[in-house]
Amino acid sequence: MSTSALQTSASETRNGPALALPTRWPSLLRPDVLADAAGPTPFLLGSTELVTSKLRRFRSAVREVQPFYAVKCNPDAGVLTALAAEGCGFEVASLGELELLVGLGVDAREVLYSNTVKPASHIKGAAELGLWRFAVDSAGEVAKVAREAPGSAVYVRLAVEDDQSAFPLSRKFGVDGGKAVALLLEARDRGLRPYGLTFHVGSQSTAPSAWTTALRRVALIAAELLDLGIHLDMVDIGGGFPAWYGTPVPEIEEIGAAITRGLASLPYTPELLAAEPGRHLAAESAVMVASVLGRERRGGQDWLHTDVGAYHGLIETQQTPSGWPYPLWTSRSDHGTAPSLSYVVTGPTCDSADTFLDRALLPATMAEGDRLYIASAGAYTLSYASSFNGFPPPQARYTATSISTVGRVVPQPSHAVALRSAG
């Protein structure tokens, strides 16, 4: 988002009505709880209980499917440990992610490696740790896996309709049905195990029917493969399960019903039905806490400069045409009573591309030192964060928490760790 674009699009309106706390703001991370969080900003304050409760609801809604958490979404050790304790599986996109899991006690044999184009050294290293299932979508990758991890299992990624998602993926990944059949036959000829099919309907999908349609395509390919002597051991329905960012999204129960309809079309039930939820489990588990460094008015707009920006975990705000609608609140005692104002919110660096919010409605009284609370920040923030311009990335503060009768956080046994930047 360029500065010039912001200057022509931001609202010129000065004062608006007072604001209400966004609906579905997590009770474990209410503003009065956030106000008790001491220490320097920026930091991501999260509850592993919110992650595991999402996992339990996912399992209830999609009973036929085993979840494998997408580590890239949020690799915080506290999150991973909590999910592992619940018996959740994991999906990785690199050897580094697998090594992180193994270091936490996760059995590599239970992990899926769904990145379809991998460094040869990562395939070899993963196989040496015990991982045996690799995604592919090209003949070159089949040959690479056969060379670096002989005898392992491969599953082919299909390209499917993903136009109802915030982040379509099929331009970069996936093949059509005919190519998928050819790749599994080639894998068998190379001594690999033709294990399964997978797809991804795009990140933050708002179309439950996308899973139904994709599974019906899988059914046709599975039937063709059966005639060729290949019985699929796995169908992996990928990720794309949405999270709340202030606007309505389909509930997981609605998506689960669509998945069930799609699974009914399969010619048989594979031994493993897998899914790779990431954003859906992690996003709503945490709030990013930042401080206002300064307030300015330039070009007819009101600007807030904060100590977190696009380069420090909020890059998704620049990856969609309309930005990313994070729910917002502040530490101001008059938030909810003071008139509101439309702000451009930018990060701390000397790069205008660090600007991450346009038309952010916040109290007209905002000033240096106030804290900005950015909800639904538990997904694709930590893993994107960098130290660009010498500004450190946010620290992660995940803990298991409960709320006392006076509304304060009561710490429970914790796996909170400092963020190790993956960006």
Confirm whether 420 is domain-assigned.
no
Q: Is the pLDDT of residue 1 over 70?
A: no
Confirm whether 421 is domain-assigned.
no
Q: Is the pLDDT of residue 402 over 70?
A: no
Mean pLDDT lowest among 82-86, 159-163, 336-340: 159-163
Residue 160 and residue 79 share a domain? yes
pLDDT given for residue 324 in this prediction: 77
pLDDT given for residue 160 in this prediction: 79
Structural domain that includes position 74: 48-282
User: Total structural domains in the chain?
Assistant: 2
pLDDT given for residue 167 in this prediction: 57
Would you say the C-alpha torsion 145, 151, 153, 157 has a positive or negative sign?
positive
DSSP collapsed to 3 states, the chain: CCHHHHHHHCCCCCCECCCCCCCCCCHHHCHHHHCCCCCCCCEEEEEHHHHHHHHHHHHHHCCCCEEEEEHHHCCCHHHHHHHHHCCCEEEECCHHHHHHHHHCCCCHHHEEECCCCCCHHHHHHHHHHCCCEEEECCHHHHHHHHHHCCCCEEEEEECCCCCCEEECCCCCCCECHHHHHHHHHHHHHCCCEEEEEECCCCEEECCCHHHHHHHHHHHHHHHHHHHCCCCCCEEECCCCCCCCCCCCCCCHHHHHHHHHHHHCCCCCCCCEEEECCCHHHHHHHEEEEEEEEEEEEECCEEEEEECCCHHHCCHHHHCCCCCCCCCEEECCCCCCCCCEEEEEEECCCCCHHHCCEEEEEEECCCCCCCEEEECCCCCCCHHHCCCHHHCCCCEEEEECEEECCCCCEEECCCCCCCCCCCC
Residue 121 and residue 259 share a domain? yes
**Final residue of a domain: which of 244, 264, 282?**
282
**Final residue of a domain: which of 282, 316, 348?**
282
Read off the pLDDT of residues 242-258 as tens digits, 9 standing for 90 and up.
999 988 899 999 999 99
Q: Is the pLDDT of residue 217 over 50?
A: yes
Confirm whether 416 is domain-assigned.
no
pLDDT given for residue 322 in this prediction: 66
Residue 342 and residue 209 share a domain? no
pLDDT given for residue 76 in this prediction: 96
Q: Average model confidence (pLDDT) for the chain?
A: 88
Q: Is the pLDDT of residue 325 over 60?
A: yes
Residue 273 and residue 146 share a domain? yes
CATH code at position 393: 2.40.37.10
Residue 319 and residue 252 share a domain? no
Q: Is the pLDDT of residue 351 over 50?
A: yes
Average pLDDT over residues 203-215: 89
Residue 394 and residue 309 share a domain? yes
Confirm whether 27 is domain-assigned.
yes
Residue 255 and residue 162 share a domain? yes
Residue 396 and residue 294 share a domain? yes
Read off the pLDDT of residues 28-77 as tens digits, 9 standing for 90 and up.
999 999 999 989 999 999 999 999 999 999 999 999 999 999 999 999 99
Q: Is the pLDDT of residue 407 over 60?
A: no
Residue 308 and residue 176 share a domain? no
**Final residue of a domain: which of 263, 282, 301?**
282
Confirm whether 417 is domain-assigned.
no
Q: Is the pLDDT of residue 3 over 50?
A: no
Residue 59 and residue 183 share a domain? yes
pLDDT given for residue 403 in this prediction: 32
Average pLDDT over residues 221-243: 95
pLDDT given for residue 56 in this prediction: 97
Residue 289 and residue 278 share a domain? no
pLDDT given for residue 13 in this prediction: 46
Pick the more confident residue, 239 or 233: 233
Residues with active-site annotation: 350
Q: Is the pLDDT of residue 240 over 80?
A: yes
Average pLDDT over residues 147-169: 83
Mean pLDDT lowest among 3-12, 234-243, 280-289: 3-12
pLDDT given for residue 399 in this prediction: 86
Read off the pLDDT of residues 376-387 as tens digits, 9 standing for 90 and up.
999 999 999 999
pLDDT given for residue 163 in this prediction: 65
CATH code at position 67: 3.20.20.10
Confirm whether 338 is domain-assigned.
yes
Give the predicted TM-score (pTM) of the model.
0.89
Residue 247 and residue 276 share a domain? yes
Mean pLDDT lowest among 107-111, 169-173, 315-319: 169-173
pLDDT given for residue 162 in this prediction: 65
Confirm whether 386 is domain-assigned.
yes
Distance CA(282)–CA(14), nearest Å, equals 36
Confirm whether 74 is domain-assigned.
yes
